[in-house]
Chains A and B, each alone.
Chain A
Amino acid sequence: AQKVTQAQTEISVVEKEDVTLDCVYETRDTTYYLFWYKQPPSGELVFLIRRNSFDEQNEISGRYSWNFQKSTSSFNFTITASQVVDSAVYFCALLTGGGNKLTFGTGTQLKVEL
Chain B
Amino acid sequence: GAGVSQSPRYKVTKRGQDVALRCDPISGHVSLYWYRQALGQGPEFLTYFNYEAQQDKSGLPNDRFSAERPEGSISTLTIQRTEQRDSAMYRCASSLAVADSRSNYGYTFGSGTRLTVV
Whole-angstrom distance between the alpha carbons of A47 and B111 in the complex?
A: 13
Q: A50-B103, A50-B106 are in contact. Are A100 and B43 (CB under 8 A)?
A: no
Report the nearest A residue to B42, measured CB to CB. Answer: A104
Closest CB in chain B relative to A11 CB, distance in Å: 15
Whole-angstrom distance between the alpha carbons of A33 and B59 in the complex?
A: 20
| A95 CB–B CB distance under 8 Å | yes
Whole-angstrom distance between the alpha carbons of A48 and B42 in the complex?
A: 16
| A110 CB–B CB distance under 8 Å | no
Neighbouring A residues of B91 by C-beta, 8 Å: 45
Q: How many residue pairs at the A-B interface have CB separations less than 8 Å?
A: 64
Which A residues between 67 and 114 are near B, CB-CB below 8 angstroms?
Answer: 91, 93, 95, 97, 100-107
A100 near B55 with CB under 8 A, answer yes
Q: A43-B111, A95-B101, A95-B102 are in contact. Are A104 and B43 (CB under 8 A)?
A: yes
Neighbouring B residues of A97 by C-beta, 8 Å: 102
Whole-angstrom distance between the alpha carbons of A93 and B37 in the complex?
A: 14
Neighbouring A residues of B55 by C-beta, 8 Å: 100
A100 near B48 with CB under 8 A, answer yes
Neighbouring A residues of B89 by C-beta, 8 Å: 43
Whole-angstrom distance between the alpha carbons of A93 and B106 in the complex?
A: 11
Q: A100-B48, A100-B56 are in contact. Are A93 and B108 (CB under 8 A)?
A: no
Binding site for A on B (CB under 8 A): 31, 33, 35, 40-45, 48, 55-56, 59, 89, 91, 93, 98, 101-112, 114
